[in-house]
Structure 1
Amino acid sequence: MAELALLSLEQSLHEFNGDPARLYLTGVSMGGYGSWRLALKDPHRFAALVPICGGLDAPGRHSVSRNLDAATPVSEPFLEAARLLRHLPIWVFHGEEDPIIPVSESRILVRALQEVGAPMRYTEYPEVEHDSWDPAYAEPELMPWLLSHSRTS
């Protein structure tokens, strides 16, 4: 599916004369997982990444991230993902009270990105459940932040 999405993106860029240096990737919930996956599949294609209430499909993901606390070491799959994306500006959003995708899914990725020095931001909305995309996409700084990034190579 990821390959098909990237092929569709390439066709759309060609057909609509898009700017390949200004491709921004965002996704919500299952699409949040998809945005991480696409970014990892082609880490130099996008200018910025905005995953919302998503996570990483990685071996041991459920046993690691769902029980994450401040003392839990970040496991290798998350560090490897962070290393691959450490050049990419990323702004992660999640609702603290999300009953569908636990906030720990984002927290562990954020911790891994911080460990490798990635240019990232994290916004966790207190008392927000799964619909964190509403405040995220209404964030006044989001569009200027996105548009301030372009891929240089």
Structure 2
Amino acid sequence: MALIQCDFFSDVLGLSSSMYVILPQNAQSQIGMESKATQRKHKTLFLLHGLSDDHTIWLRRTSIERYVAPLGLAVVMPAVHRSFYTDMASGGDYWTFVSEELPALARSFFPLSDRREDNFVAGLSMGGYGAFKLALNKPEQYAAAASLSGALDVSTFEERAPVDFGRIFGTADVVNGLPNNLFLAAETLKASGRPIPRLYQYCGTEDFLYEDNVKFRRHADALGLPLTYEEAPGEHSWEYWDEYIQHVLKWLPLGEE
């Protein structure tokens, strides 16, 4: 695998930003690694970080590089700070950045496929929210999305964590409207006739976000969305996210080359 830190200027944010990118590489002599690559443009997983972290965290807390090596899958890990993947009331336009500018920039820098069936998004906690937010609001861009311990009900999240939602979202109307409210986004997508991405959801039963995850699962089931749900004893911890990102990779519809 090739691991690249990419520093670039974002026109949307009006400042410099960073992302880590893992690119597939054929390498037969890399000790302890099975690597796979193709001559085609790479299938891509956009992998999103949580509230207290940045674009480096998946590499520091998991073996994501080793996990994706035999899959021939590129991974793009952007930095979005504490934005909730939102066009902030007092801050940068991180929703526009991650939903529009980031994919275009990444594909201009690296040989990444732009086909819907080759693009996936996943994340943990705030990043789980971001992953479902992208999939439900931009379904033409992603074939599948996964949330690990996601902060899926943003209308209640401020009660559970020290987050200044006024600075991020501004008003309750913004929190409860599109694209920010995942429950409304799911209903809107179901009624629209647009393609519906496959969804994967995991949360530990001792996680402080467990009830929000059960609430979203019930909502998705009622709408008939294609949701795979897993839960197990566990807290809001990398011990579980390192395990379940491997479940996600096995679940992804990567298909044949």
TM-score, normalised to structure 1's length? 0.73
Cα drift, residue 79 of structure 1: 4.3
Cα drift, residue 57 of structure 1: 4.8
Cα drift, residue 28 of structure 1: 0.8
Bigger proportion of residues as helix: 1
Bigger proportion of residues as strand: 2
Aligned match of 1:123: 230
Aligned match of 2:134: 38
One-letter amino acid of the counterpart of residue 110, structure 2 = F
Matched, 1:27 2:123: yes
Within a 5 Å distance, the mapping from 1:53-64 to structure 2 comes to 53-58=149-154, 61-62=155-156
TM-score, normalised to structure 2's length? 0.45
Separation (CA, whole Å) in 1 of partners of 2:96 and 2:246: 30
Separation (CA, whole Å) in 2 of partners of 1:125 and 1:135: 11
- Percent identity, aligned pairs only, is 28
Matched, 1:138 2:242: no
Cα drift, residue 124 of structure 1: 0.7
Cα separation, partners in 2 of 1:82 and 1:123, compared to 1, 3 Å: same
Cα separation, partners in 2 of 1:46 and 1:78, compared to 1, 3 Å: closer
Aligned match of 2:51: none
SS in 1 for 2:252: helix
- Is the 8 Å Cα contact of residues 197 and 226 (structure 2) preserved in structure 1? yes
SS in 2 for 1:130: coil
SS in 2 for 1:54: coil
Aligned match of 1:109: 216
One-letter amino acid of the counterpart of residue 144, structure 2 = A
Cα separation, partners in 2 of 1:48 and 1:40, compared to 1, 3 Å: same
CA deviation map 1:62-121 (0-9, x unaligned): 29xx9xxxxxxxxxx65432234551100001111013xx20121111111111111110
Greater RCO (Cα-Cα under 8 Å, separation 6 or more): 1
Matched, 1:5 2:98: yes
CA deviation map 1:25-79 (0-9, x unaligned): 0011121122222234423211100011113355xx329xx9xxxxxxxxxx654
SS in 2 for 1:91: strand
SS in 1 for 2:156: helix
Cα separation, partners in 2 of 1:48 and 1:85, compared to 1, 3 Å: farther
Runs of 4+ in 1 over 6 A off after TM superposition: none
Cα separation, partners in 2 of 1:85 and 1:145, compared to 1, 3 Å: farther
Cα separation, partners in 2 of 1:14 and 1:147, compared to 1, 3 Å: farther
Among residues 182, 186, 189, which one is paired with 1:82 in the alignment? 186
- Is the 8 Å Cα contact of residues 85 and 118 (structure 1) preserved in structure 2? no
Aligned match of 1:15: 109
Separation (CA, whole Å) in 2 of partners of 1:10 and 1:85: 23
Q: What is the CA RMSD across the aligned residues, in angstroms?
A: 2.5
Matched, 1:92 2:201: yes
Separation (CA, whole Å) in 2 of partners of 1:148 and 1:40: 20
- Is the 8 Å Cα contact of residues 135 and 197 (structure 2) preserved in structure 1? no
Separation (CA, whole Å) in 1 of partners of 2:104 and 2:153: 24
User: Which runs of 5 or more residues in structure 2 are unaligned?
Assistant: 1-93, 161-180, 191-195
Separation (CA, whole Å) in 1 of partners of 2:96 and 2:207: 29
Cα drift, residue 130 of structure 1: 0.5
Separation (CA, whole Å) in 2 of partners of 1:117 and 1:23: 22
Separation (CA, whole Å) in 2 of partners of 1:84 and 1:147: 24
